[in-house]
Amino acid sequence: MSAAEAGVLPDDRDQNAPVPHRLAITVAVMTAIIMNVLDITIVNVALPHMEGSLRANSNQITWALTTYMLAMVIVTPLTGLLVERFGQRRLILASVAGFLVCSALSGQSHSLPEIVLWRFFQGVFGASLVPVGQAILVESYPRSQRGIAMATLGMGTMLGPILGPVLGGYITEDLSWRWCFYVNLPIGAIALILLFFYAPDFGHSEHPRPLDWQGLLWLTLGLGSLQLILSLGDQDDWFSSRFIVATAVVAALGSLLFVVHSLSVRSPVVDLRLLADRSLTMGSIGIGLFGLALYGTMVVLPIYLQNYMGYEPQTAGLVMAPQGIGSWISMWAAGRLLNRGASPRLMIIAGVFLGSLGTWLSLHYNLDISPAWIVWPGVIRGLGLGLISIPLFTLAFTTLSKANTPAGSG
């Protein structure tokens, strides 16, 4: 099979015309994504302190996180369709602006329903930031420089897990949990200004696909129900609960109908045919597992440290930050190694080993361990996750045609 048949444009991809202001574009995209990731990690630390102000218990307050993630899960796959209709520039500008408004309104919330509502819309606007930002960088750099571009983006993204827990701890302790949302305003304003002046306008189609309402319905039922199971399963004793069982049936049925429908129509809301690209498929699976390993820890650990081990928010943040530092270091190294021709497969294998070792060490957590025994497994796991992520992000787009990059990024 030729490169053209495989969807690769070798000359265009390696010798594409230079895009002006690459550094400014990279900083703008990184700032927007840092704001999004920082919001997740900061709010996790603040959840126990939000309970009293919003008159909620520990189970109810998690809806402030659940609805955010639910919106992200539903809207992220729609990114390709939105890019076709509005272009990457307008979409990322609208996403940042909407995220800022919802951040301010979340900080002003005085009841649980109020913050749940604004957090949902915050997730709606935040869902496209990572895939659109990633697609902008992919199309702004020649193929030979994408390893270092993805590493730079990854290092910027990891500032969220590094700074989030620490910043969240100090803000919650010294100011108020509301400032965990207000802190997005100056960061987002910088991102909005930079993106307004420097963001290129890729991806807009003169003839965008019509919106596949039926596919959107099945997608929402499938992914939305799955997110509810993952969020509520533990407190409802998983499949001992009739609600969880019923939700699982809806998730399975919605997902099945979505797949069948998407493969049988010409313009599906999410084009599953792109998964015929082996690099994209394997990269997407790996990136999903990477996100689960990284953010799963970021959600669970602060609650465990504060509610069960009696840590103050500041201490919990300091204990969690080294995992992000480990990822930051290995992402920097991974980008350098890729640009020098290192084998992505070997880097992924090394990353899986380190990530598994760190996770295995974490299984020995108990209420009597010292902070050092929480820090070091996190550092090892972070080193592994960084080595895994950069090769995966780079490989996922290796054989994807430029026309399919926006849809594939979602």
Q: What is the pLDDT of residue 298?
A: 66
Alpha-helix residue ranges (DSSP H) falling in 54-111:
58-61, 63-75, 79-107
Q: What is the pLDDT of residue 268?
A: 78
Q: What is the pLDDT of residue 304?
A: 77
State the burial class of residue 240 (Cβ atoms within 10 Å of its Cβ: 0-12, 13-18, 19+). exposed
State the burial class of residue 219 (Cβ atoms within 10 Å of its Cβ: 0-12, 13-18, 19+). buried
Task: In whole angstroms, give the CA distance from residue 155 to residue 336.
Answer: 12
- CA nearest to 394, candidates 150, 129, 156: 150
Beta-carbon neighbour count of residue 111 at 10 Å?
A: 12
pTM given for the model: 0.70
Single-letter code of the amino acid located at 207: H
Q: What is the CATH T-level fold of the domain 10-211+269-409, as seen in this structure?
A: Growth Hormone; Chain: A; (1.20.1250)
Q: What is the pLDDT of residue 17?
A: 38
Task: In whole angstroms, give the CA distance from residue 257 to residue 186.
Answer: 43
Single-letter code of the amino acid located at 234: D
Task: In whole angstroms, give the CA distance from residue 199 to residue 126.
Answer: 17
Task: In whole angstroms, give the CA distance from residue 212 to residue 257.
Answer: 13
Output the 3-class SS for 272-317: HHHHHCHHHHHHHHHHHHHHHHHHHHHHHHHHHHHHCCCCCHHHHH
Spatial contact of 76 and 131, defined as CB atoms under 8 Å apart: yes
pLDDT by 10s per residue, the chain, length 410: 333 333 333 334 444 434 567 788 888 888 888 888 887 777 777 777 787 778 777 777 778 887 888 888 788 878 877 888 888 889 999 999 999 999 999 989 888 889 989 999 999 999 888 888 888 887 777 776 766 777 777 777 777 767 777 787 778 777 888 888 998 999 899 999 999 988 877 666 666 667 778 888 888 888 778 877 876 776 767 777 788 888 889 889 988 988 888 888 777 777 776 666 666 677 667 666 766 666 666 667 777 777 777 777 677 777 877 877 888 888 888 877 877 777 878 888 888 898 888 888 877 777 778 888 888 888 888 888 888 877 777 666 665 555 555 554 55
Q: What is the pLDDT of residue 71?
A: 87
Phi-psi domain of 341 (left: phi exceeds 0; alpha: psi -120 through 50; beta: other) = left
Sequence length of the chain is 410
